[in-house]
Structure 1
Amino acid sequence: MSNSLINKRIVAVIAAAASVFSLTACGSGTSKNDTEASKDVQVVNIAGVTGKKPYTFVDGNNYTGYDFELLKKIDEKLPQYKFKYTALAQDALLTGLQSGKYDAATCSFYGTAERFKTFDYSENPTGLSDARLIIRSDEKNINSLEDLAKSGKKLAPIPTDDARYTLINQYNEKHPNNKIEFEGATEKSATVADVLKAVGAGKYDAAIYPYTSFQSIKDELGLDLTTTDSIGLFPTVFLYHKGDSTAKLRKDVDKVLDDFRNNGTLSKLSEKWYGEDVFKLPGADKVDSVIYWK
């Protein structure tokens, strides 16, 4: 073989090797800058309660509802984070949040003193829950908590760790001569549907639930029930794994929640998912999660 032919083959091999190296370096799609940038993005594992329309539910592969849509909008404002979503039963969600499997959790949660011993929470409300008395449509004498107290009629039991229980206790403390007689529920398995069916059947005369919970289920139940006007507004919150690991996340999310309340984003989500702008209801401007729950 001639020296010129050998030299040509050596040149060809070197060129091919250079080409492969170039393709490997450029074709991977990950530059040094891309790798460094990805290291700066913190993945945040967020859990919502499954099948809790209109708050958190899954439609095909889409995590949606008021809370999940709010989180997606927050994620867009915080490029330093990447939110990853999961939906599961509430008991499993709270267990996972306490253990640190999840960084945050959502389902328009009420705050309670007991809950805040275990979890941290957003200091700006994620939304407002419009509590109503649910009554039979032919009930003409119950239009407020005062009416319920005067009538002596029966209110459906409320779990003792629920914010609705606190609402009635606060009313009774302010009205010692016109108290509402009610019981704390020990059976937590009763669903909204179970309680509303009991009201419809006359076992109870009234129940307290968020207006949105009633609206989402009333047609399905086919019961002749209606609601009073609002009897109280509760701030709803994101819950976080308790500790320093979520401190910066909480602060960053709270800043966006404050912006969203001021620029009308929360109002638009409320109109879309709740059928009303809860932030325009009387007293809404005074509801703050820090003040309310402390």
Structure 2
Amino acid sequence: MKKLLKSGFVKFGLLSLAATAVLAACGSAEATEEAAATTNPDAETVIVGTGNAYQPFVYLDKNEDLQGYDIEVLKAVDEKLDQYNFEYESMDFKNVLTSLSAGKVRLAAHNFAYNDERGAKYLYGEEAYNTYAHHIVVDESTGQVYQSLDDLQGKKVFAAPASEVAYILETYNAENNDAIEIVYSEASGELLVQGLQNGTADAAILTKFDTNKYNEQFNVNLQASDEALKTAGIFYIFNKGDEELQTAVDGAIKELRDEGTLSDLSIEFLGDDYTK
């Protein structure tokens, strides 16, 4: 009798497991169908051009997957815009805006601040998703302190080509007889720090975020000027004439700010809330 009961229990258990599997499969199928139903089949694909080596804003992880604060904000934006489907193409920073001009991408994402030169050529978003302040930075071992661009006359200063820093220095030089020697370099991280220590450049212009990051990462003591040279909002950039996409993205960013999502993402990826 016990044997029969055991056999019956096994059969019942197998039937129960089979039924559970069928229900789970049905539930999974229904979830997939529901997700498909909520995805707009007519959504317009938007190719986003971004960088690949500016951690933690835009970079490739060890699996060559695109990561970073700029990207996570755009993913959150995309979730709010049923009419669009964002796809991402990473490239060297110097090629991001070139690709936008050539129509290869419709949205440029690489921690872009506003400047007049870009503003004349491209359509900026109106909702900043981040802010930063530029400071003059030196290695403490040099014993030098620079508080203004005037202090940098006759000095060598690092700047990445086509960057906001290059624009700041080039604008100053245009009005001051090329008084600052701009050392154009795409070096970042350890190479930039080494350059400040070995005299390749006398100074760099960095955000407080980058200054703190390099100090912690490389166990150095970079010193930032007391006052910022420039405080700027950070925006996504579009081609002129693409106001519909710009307006949609701006609206989504405003919602993310109001919900607190922007602040949460900034704290998660940048270590503090730089969205205010």
2:114 and 2:269 map into 1 onto residues whose CA distance is: 21
Quick check: 1:235 aligned with 2:237?
Answer: no
SS in structure 2 of the partner of residue 115 of structure 1: helix
Gaps of 5+ in 1: 1-28, 281-294
Relative to structure 1, the CA distance from residue 279 to residue 220 in structure 2 (aligned partners, 3 Å threshold; closer, same or farther) is: closer
SS in structure 2 of the partner of residue 269 of structure 1: helix
TM-score, L = length of structure 2: 0.69
What is the identity, as a one-letter code, of the residue corresponding to 1:47?
G
Quick check: 1:247 aligned with 2:243?
Answer: yes
Aligned partner of 1:44 in structure 2 is: 46
SS in structure 1 of the partner of residue 96 of structure 2: helix
Contact 1:110 / 1:235 at 8 angstroms: preserved in 2? yes
What is the identity, as a one-letter code, of the residue corresponding to 2:46?
V
Note the alpha carbon deviations across 1:176-217, whole angstroms, 9 max, x for none: 9xxx952344x3445464443222124544321123333444
Contact 1:53 / 1:216 at 8 angstroms: preserved in 2? no
Contact 2:135 / 2:206 at 8 angstroms: preserved in 1? yes
Relative to structure 1, the CA distance from residue 264 to residue 153 in structure 2 (aligned partners, 3 Å threshold; closer, same or farther) is: farther
Gaps of 5+ in 2: 1-31
Alignment of 1:1-294 (within 5 A): 37-39=40-42, 41-59=43-61, 60=63, 62-138=65-141, 142=145, 144-145=147-148, 149=150, 154=155, 156-158=157-159, 161-165=162-166, 167=168, 182-185=180-183, 187-191=184-188, 193-219=190-216, 221-229=218-226, 231=228, 232-240=230-238, 242-244=239-241, 246-280=242-276
1:210 and 1:229 map into 2 onto residues whose CA distance is: 12
2:78 and 2:196 map into 1 onto residues whose CA distance is: 41
TM-score, L = length of structure 1: 0.66
**Once the 2 structures are TM-superposed, how far is the Cα of residue 172 of structure 1 from its aligned partner?**
9.8
Relative to structure 1, the CA distance from residue 272 to residue 227 in structure 2 (aligned partners, 3 Å threshold; closer, same or farther) is: farther
Contact 1:143 / 1:229 at 8 angstroms: preserved in 2? no
Relative to structure 1, the CA distance from residue 216 to residue 87 in structure 2 (aligned partners, 3 Å threshold; closer, same or farther) is: farther
> Which one has the largest radius of gyration?
1
**Once the 2 structures are TM-superposed, how far is the Cα of residue 38 of structure 1 from its aligned partner?**
1.0
Contact 1:43 / 1:83 at 8 angstroms: preserved in 2? yes
Relative to structure 1, the CA distance from residue 181 to residue 268 in structure 2 (aligned partners, 3 Å threshold; closer, same or farther) is: farther
1:156 and 1:45 map into 2 onto residues whose CA distance is: 35
Contact 2:158 / 2:205 at 8 angstroms: preserved in 1? no
Relative to structure 1, the CA distance from residue 276 to residue 248 in structure 2 (aligned partners, 3 Å threshold; closer, same or farther) is: same
Q: CA RMSD in A?
A: 3.8
Note the alpha carbon deviations across 1:115-155, whole angstroms, 9 max, x for none: 3344322122221123222222346663733xx74697835
Relative to structure 1, the CA distance from residue 195 to residue 131 in structure 2 (aligned partners, 3 Å threshold; closer, same or farther) is: same
Q: Using the aligned pairs only, state the percent identity.
A: 23
What is the identity, as a one-letter code, of the residue corresponding to 1:274?
L
What is the identity, as a one-letter code, of the residue corresponding to 2:157?
A
